[in-house]
Each structure stands twice: as C-alpha cells, then as structure tokens.
Chain A
Amino acid sequence: MNRKGILLIGLLVALFAVSLVYAGGRAEDPAVVDDDRVTIGAAMVDITNPFFVQVMEGGDQMADALNANFIWRSSEGSLETQLAVIESFIEQGVDAIWIDPLDPEAVKPAIRRALAAGIPTVTAANLVEVPGNVSTPFPAYDAFYQLGNMVAAYLNYEGNVLYMSGIPGNWILDQYGAGLEDALAQYPDINVPSVQPARMDPALAHQIMESWLATYGPGEIDAVVFTTDPDMYAALEAIRDAGREGEFPLFSQNGDLPAVEMIANNENEVKIDLLSHGARIGAFNALVAIRLAEGVDLPEVLWFQYAPVMTQETWDHITANGYQMDVQQNEPFSVDWMSPEEAMAIIADAAVEFVDWEPPVE
C-alpha cells in the first residue's frame, strides 16, 4: 500500500468515527425532535458519582412528567470544564441552564453571560448571588441542627455521640458538621468524644468505625451520626464484624432506599435518615429550570427541603422527650417528619412530590 492509500484510509477511519458521533447527535437532537418542548442544559459536577446519577434520574423523571428535554453534561470535577460546558450551552441557545456549581463564586461570570444572552439560570445546592439567577440552596446547617436536636432528644439529652463528618473544606458538608455540633453543644450531658472525617469514602468510614469500636467498649457509645448513607453502610459492616450490631442507634443523611428500608424494618438500629436524595434534588431543580425556561417568574432563593425519615414510634419517642423544631438560620426548614413508606414512594418517582408545586410568592 502506498502512502496516499494510508492517508486515505486514515481519513476515512477518522470520518467514520466522527460520523458515528454525528449520527448520535442527530438521531435524538432535542431541538430537532420537538421544537415545542423546552430544552434545559444541565452542568453537573461529575456524572460518574452515584449521587449525580440519582440527580439525573430525578431530573429525567421530572422532564418526562413535564415534557421537557434535558442535555446532561459532566464537569468531570473541574471548574474549568464546568465553565466550558456553560459557555457551550449559551452557544447552543438552550432555554435554561441548570448548574450544580463546583464553586459558587467562580461560576458567577458565566452565569452573568448566560443571563445577558437571555438564558435563565438555576444553581443547585449553593446560594449564588447574581441578580436574575435562581438559587436552590440546601439548608444544610439547619438540617443537621435539627438532626442534632433529634439525636439529643432520642438519647434523653445524655450520652456519648460519635460523628463521622464529610470532606473538610466542602461548604455544605462543613455546614452539616457546624449545625450538628451547635445543636449538641446545647446539652451539657451530651458529649462528642470523637469527630472523624470519612471524606465520603466508605473504605475510610469502615476503618474509622473499626477504630472507634476498638477505642470505646460496650456502653461507651450511645449514638453515631453519619454524614452520608454510604458511610453508614460501610460502618455497619465493621459493627457486624465486631459483633456489636444493635448496641447503639444510628443517624444519617441521604434517604437512600436501603437506609429507609432499614428504618421501616427496624434493622441495625437505624433510627432517623434525613431525606435529601439525589433524585429528589434532581426533580426539584429540573422543575425550577423548566419553569424558568417557560418564562415563569420565580423568587431568587428557593430553599430545598430536607425531610427527616423515621417511624411513628421514633417520632413519638423524641416528642415525648420534648423535641421541638428549632430553626436557626434558613427558615423554612421542612416538614416535621416523614414515614419510611412515604419516603419510598418519593424515591420510586421523585417527580410525584413536586410536579404540582407552586412557587412561593415574594
């Protein structure tokens, strides 16, 4: 084969490869399939993370319910990539952009560019103060402040509480820790002998739990609070391996189905799990983005709602011990509590909870 032949084959192969991409792009191009539907560009933090997979599932459920199109793009954990994704959405002229910001400050210029181009934006999880942008921040501090009060009430305001925290430096996870510590600090007979960052790494969570079990003997741990359910699952393995299951109650956050099922079935002493859930977050933000794309005027701050999931028995127990909702910062917090059955219905189809939602009037 001569060099011209090689060159020709090379170009044909490249053409073929790109054509595959091209074909994929044309086959389901939302703008081509249905011009009547709104198209939302969604810049996720990292779509390989199971949490964001849940977020996208919830978003797709809402998109199906409201007949909208979503273009999901991953920022691959890089702020530079996130800005590139947002700028590409502006270029495409999508109807609205949903951003899960890697950094609330650094995305502001890109948001301003989108708004200047007439494209409304919604930023999830964080408060991003750009005039015209709608933020749906998590009331993270209040959520864990409430959880701390519930833990204290559950223990009748005395005992040793261990806390497995998140990633130091992550604003939301730090807010969780601050809320919990402030709540527990109100009760002089509640001690927090150890706070260890599991960094949202289940393997590390397992190691930390092993160390705690080696350090604190039977009767020396009265409760353990986890930042996320995957940390709790890993810690449960360590608790089982040590033969100490059922010795102390567990409290966590996420509202993953296995954790909610444990509450429903009264397994492993899992007592309360704060329902945030990726799919629920996805459905809510998808709803906000779709409404913005449709031209609905929304308040610039819409707090996302956490819901503590527990059994009637647990609720009765903590209220009998004097638990009352006491919001510190980001009112409104949420509903008082939710049964595991209600939580499971929401997890099965996250769109159900919000599809008839009416925005608050400013």
Chain B
Amino acid sequence: MGSLKQIAFTRLRLITLLGIMVTLIVVLSFASPVFLTRSNFINIVVHSSVLAILAIGLTFVILTGGLDLSVGSVVAFAGLLGVLALRSTGNVVLALFVSVASGTAMGIVNGLLIGYLQINAFIGTIATLAIYRGATLTITGGHTIPVRDETYNFLGQQGVLGIPVIIPVIAILYIVFHFVLRRTVFGRSVYALGGNHAAARVSGIRVRLTTLLVYALSGGLAGLCSIYVVGRLQSLQPWAGQGAEFETIVAVVLGGINIAGGEGDLMESLIGVAIIAIILNAMHLLPAIDPFFQSIAKGGIIIVVLAIYERLKAYGVT
C-alpha cells in the first residue's frame, strides 16, 4: 500500500471520529437547549480535564504496548504528598513541584517494574495501584484534608477572561506532546516499541529506557493532574481519581489507539476524550434519561464506535 493511500486511510479514521463527534453535537443541540451554550462547552472541557490529561500519558504507554492502571491512585497519592509539603512548609511552589515530581517517581517505579524486571504491565500496575491508594488511605486515615490556598484555588477554580485555567493548560500539553510523539526520536521509539519489541531492539532503540520514560511521563502527568484535582475540590480526597484509569483507557481506545500498541495518534485520543465527555454531559443534561439506563447508553455508544473501527480495520484502514 502506497504512503499516500495510508495517509488517506488515516484521515478516513479521523474523519469517522470527527463525524461521530459532530453527529453527537448536532443531535444533542436539538435535544437540549443548553447543550450548545458557551458555559456548557466550558463545563464539558472542565469536567473532562482529568481524563484529557491522563489520556496523554496513557496514549504514550499504550502505544508502546503497555498499560498503566495506577494513574488514578497516582493522582491521589501525588496530590497528598503535595498537600503535605504545603502544610509542612507553607511553600506552594514546592508543593506543586512535589506533586509532579512524586507522580513522576511513581511512574518511574512502574517503568522499572515493567521495563527492567519484565513484570507484566497489567499485573504490575494493578499492584502499584493498590500500593499508592493504600499509602494514601493509610496516611490520611481515609479522611479528607481541606486545602485553603490561593494558588491551588486559582488553578482549580478560577479563570482568566472567563476561561478556566485548565483549558489553556490542556491545549498546551496536547500541542507539546503531539510534537514530541510525531517529531522527535523519542516519539518514533514509542511507535517502534509498540510495533515490535524485538525489531525495535535490533534497530538500536533502548527498549528499557523508553519503557521507563513513558511510564514516568504517565506518572508525571497524573501528578500534574493531582494539582488541578486538589484545587477544584479544595481538598485532598483520599479516593480522588478512583476508576479514572478505566475511563481514560476507554477514551484512548475509542480515539483509535491500538490497545496492542504501535498505532494511533494523540489528537485521536483527544477526540476520544471529547466523545466520552460529550456523552457524559448528555447524560447529565437530558432530564428524562433514567439514571439506571445511563450505563447501558454509555456502554452501547462505546460499542457502536468500536464496532465501526473493527469494520474499518477489516477493510484495511489502520
């Protein structure tokens, strides 16, 4: 298959994704008079912020053929360490640094387990999920820690010109990491690793280091996320981020990232996140949807989208 044709196929998948998203938007704008308002659009983005940031890290991890189920627990534990730093020093800059650095360190632990000790990613990150969550619960005793700090409050609650701070942050992250994935040696290594580990090793790619780096990135972004979560909730919630890993994986796969690795694009992950966010917003907005029916609707729509992918794949669209 020629490269031009491949590009056309890639665009076809992207067009399909965009088509689904636009269809959802059009239908929902008729279904709810408030769906297409500016403030609801901001709500959609704000409500999916955690998902959007975690999806960046998980896209890198899944592209290498890996999996990181610990990200939700990292959000809670990194947030806690940041809050403890704030409480003991009063230095908010240090607290923010501690959150990101500790998240990265937790990701490095995952990377060492998977890249160097060759532990299966699913099992390894389930274990660290339990450890990080358990550590958070042990330290907090299961209690919420209120956080009254201007900087956290600004990052989680405030906006500039009516736009919440988190929105430009997400935009910048996606632009930067799209560039990293598409235009750097590291990005190409990520794709190569997911395509074929043995081939990647033979071609000189440092498999273990690349694995370590993608998990460190995933942890670091979860640490970044924790700052926003603490600010938005004005407290450290010991159960923060619980289940976020599964929703993020669904969004990433929905966006077209091959769960086996090697195929996909960060912008497609973003559209996957947007589709999930729109569906969740619709569930909240449409008054007469039976709350028990929501799970069926959510699951049904996800299956429909994935079924479309499978049909596209069957016809050679990767």
Contacts and interface: CB of A to CB of B under 8 A. Distances in A.
B285 A91 contact: yes
A102 B308 CA distance: 38
Contacts of A13: 304, 307-308
B50 interface: yes
Contacts of B141: 168-169
A21 B289 contact: yes
B242 A22 contact: no
Name, among A3, A7, A18, A168, the residue most crowded by chain B CB atoms within 10 Å (CB to CB). A18
A59 to B, nearest CB: 12
Nearest to B311: A6
A39 interface: yes
Interface in B186-237: 229, 232-235, 237
Interface residues of B, number: 63
Interface stretch (B58-66, B88-96, B291-299): B291-299
A315 B264 CA distance: 71
Contacts of B229: 80
A21 B286 contact: yes
B159 interface: no
Interface in B12-35: 12, 15-16, 19-20, 23-24, 27-28, 30-32, 34
A184 to B, nearest CB: 24
A4 to B, nearest CB: 9
A86 to B, nearest CB: 9
Contacts of B47: 80, 83-84, 87
Contacts of A26: 31, 288
Contacts of B144: 103, 105-106
A16 B27 CA distance: 10
Contact of B232 (A25, A77, A83): A83
A242 interface: no
A129 to B, nearest CB: 13
A194 interface: no
B39 interface: yes
A329 interface: no
B234 A105 contact: yes
Contact of B37 (A6, A31, A83, A91): A91
Contacts of A28: 287-288
A27 interface: yes
Contact of B142 (A71, A84, A91, A169): A169
A137 B37 CA distance: 35
Contacts of A88: 40, 43, 281, 284-285
Contacts of B233: 79-80, 83, 103, 106
A207 interface: no
A167 B142 CA distance: 9
A78 interface: yes
A159 interface: no
Contacts of A17: 297, 300-301, 304
Interface in B244-265: none
